[in-house]
Structure 1
Amino acid sequence: MSSSAVAVASPVISVDTKRKPSAVLGFMAGGIAACGAVTLTNPAEVIKTRLQLQGELMKQAPGSKRIYTNFAQAFAHIAKHEGIRGLQRGLGSAYMYQIMMNGTRLGLYDPIKYSIHSLLKTDPTKNNNLVNIAAGGTGGVLSAALASPLFLVKTRLQSYTSHEASRVGHQHYYKHSFDALRSIYKAEGLRGIYRGVDASMMRTGAGSSVQLPLYDVVKQRLIKVGGLENGALCHGLSSLISGFFLCIVMNPFDIISTRMFNQAPDPLTGRGGMLYKSPVDCLVKTVRAEGIQALYKGFTAHYLRIGPHTIFTFVFMEQVKALFERLSLY
């Protein structure tokens, strides 16, 4: 996932003046940047999803074999049995999800921050960590609520494989993203389309409240203390550091979201979930069956996805924003 930019020095969604930032242009810049990033990082997302579903609600017996043992082995296994199509499963829905989620999240970050400063009558050009956390969290929750159906579809498409020896979790077969949305709505209604939205909102809200403000702080410190120029190296290091802490905070929420999204409806009623009633129920059952360490399944794959994705998104977004500025759109 990706993030936004800094309050003073960053050109991502600038608040260098007291003019309110444009949410529309922020949405466009965020969506374009995130789509570029996800093209490169989607294979890591596929691997993360399968690692998180592997051994669901099962106690791992000592010495027992697993299909996927680590990131490198999982990459090689999927590439061997499913090819590039397997590694890029769900890419179409990932594009739609990135546009909706990151476009909204990145586009709203500085406008929300500006509005909070206006409400508090404080200077929007001065960094305020509490305001940044509130703006990041609010934007994250709103974007997750809008994009949750696409995250649902993406998770199910990425977990599916026609190679029987590679299957983990419940297998949902859909021809493509729109077929998935149509099939889910037909079988489960609007409730099915928004299955797991509460888990998704907690996941993205928690992640955004950490990543966006932390990117601000790290970038400013690298410029002021580290002496780095406000360029690609500074953006990349800031993204890498904020992405690591984001992964620590988000991984438990990500596990819950993945499992909530991938569970199957009750075969008798067509409603509800066979495994989990709510995110809390999912958390309790997962820890009870697999131990607290289960909340960090797929952590390496998660970071190898989030770290590069964050870097690519921020770097792409800096460039898109700079282009908008040259075209006098901002």
Structure 2
Amino acid sequence: MVGTSLHIFKEHGIRGLYSGLSASLLRQITYSTTRFGVYEKLKQRASPDLTFIELAWMASASGFLGGVAGNPADIINVRMQNDASLAVEQRRNYRNAIDGLVRMTREEGVKVAFRGVIPNSLRAMLMTTSQLATYDSIKNALMTKLRMKDDLATHFTASTAAGLIATTICSPVDVIKTRIMSAAEKEGIVSLLSRIYRTEGIGWMFRGWLPSFIRLGPHTVATFVFLEQHKELWRMLTLSQRPGTP
């Protein structure tokens, strides 16, 4: 990982390290907003005492919808980040995420925007379940079993555990998704799995686990810590607006 980063820095400078930033932001706007929004809405309409299985079903449905919504931006993100490792004549050289979307659909057709949508949506289902449902369950266990308070320490502990679990569960699907989206030609999932198993063995499932956790771990912690603070602020504002509240 360090060697790759140094190579990119030498070849493209500091700008190369942030290649795909606009696509990553667009992906979060479409993917994360959809899955978090749908999950919270489903929880609000359900009973207050939800089991892990019930949370997992809600998270899976939310993740699937988020995966579909974020698929086009995800392809652009993978392509822009992969450009630096390609030969000059093979690079796509998208200026930004919007330019990438326009050129991709114009040059390759609209269908390509949903290439890999099945493994991507599967990954989104696993990610949302292993993040959101796991976080809520671990947080509840910490508060009921260990008598921890609903505070920053609890949020940090639960989100760190959720980040570890999510990285491990999603690692195999991440590898498949990246291979499909960065490929120049379309290849079936079965054919792809057979090929990488023959050449790389079972270890392919966790290739890149450490850089994935370095990215996903802090991201998961920051997401849930800020989300909890947002919820608390929203509760305070809602309560202050109720009639009769001093």
Question: TM-score normalized by structure 1?
Answer: 0.67
Q: Distance in 1 between matches of 2:94 and 2:79?
A: 9
Of the candidates 76, 86, 90, which is equivalent to residue 153 of structure 1?
76
1:167 shift after superposition: 4.1
Aligned residue number for residue 249 of structure 1 = 169
1:147 shift after superposition: 0.9
Aligned residue number for residue 120 of structure 1 = none
Aligned: 1:84 with 2:14: yes
Aligned residue number for residue 298 of structure 1 = 208
Q: Distance in 1 between matches of 2:9 and 2:236?
A: 42
Aligned residue number for residue 139 of structure 1 = 62
- Tell me the amino acid that sits aligned with residue 153 of structure 1: I
Structure 2 alignment gaps of length 5 or more: 242-246
Of the candidates 74, 77, 81, which is equivalent to residue 4 of structure 2?
74
- Tell me the amino acid that sits aligned with residue 149 of structure 1: P
- Tell me the amino acid that sits aligned with residue 297 of structure 1: R
**How much is the aligned-residue C-alpha RMSD, in angstroms?**
2.1
1:305 shift after superposition: 0.8
Aligned: 1:205 with 2:125: yes
Structure 1 alignment gaps of length 5 or more: 1-70, 118-123, 266-272
- Tell me the amino acid that sits aligned with residue 32 of structure 2: N
- Tell me the amino acid that sits aligned with residue 302 of structure 1: S
Q: Name the structure where helix makes up a greater proportion of residues.
A: 2
Question: Which SS does the other structure have where 1:291 is aligned?
Answer: helix
1:282 shift after superposition: 2.1
Preserved contact between residue 131 and residue 220 of structure 2 (Cα < 8 Å): no
Aligned residue number for residue 18 of structure 1 = none
Q: Distance in 2 between matches of 1:151 and 1:303?
A: 18
Question: Which SS does the other structure have where 2:95 is aligned?
Answer: coil
1:80 shift after superposition: 4.3
- Tell me the amino acid that sits aligned with residue 158 of structure 1: Q
- Tell me the amino acid that sits aligned with residue 238 of structure 2: S
Of the candidates 193, 209, 218, which is equivalent to residue 308 of structure 1?
218
**Count of aligned pairs between the two proteins:** 238
Which aligned pairs between 1:19-34 and structure 2 lie closer than 5 A?
none
Higher RCO (Cα < 8 Å, 6 or more apart): 1
Percent identity among equivalent residues? 29
1:114 shift after superposition: 4.4
Q: Distance in 2 between matches of 1:159 and 1:260?
A: 12
- Tell me the amino acid that sits aligned with residue 289 of structure 1: T
Q: Distance in 2 between matches of 1:78 and 1:113?
A: 43
Aligned residue number for residue 320 of structure 1 = 230
Aligned residue number for residue 37 of structure 2 = 107
Q: Distance in 2 between matches of 1:89 and 1:327?
A: 39
Question: Which SS does the other structure have where 2:150 is aligned?
Answer: coil
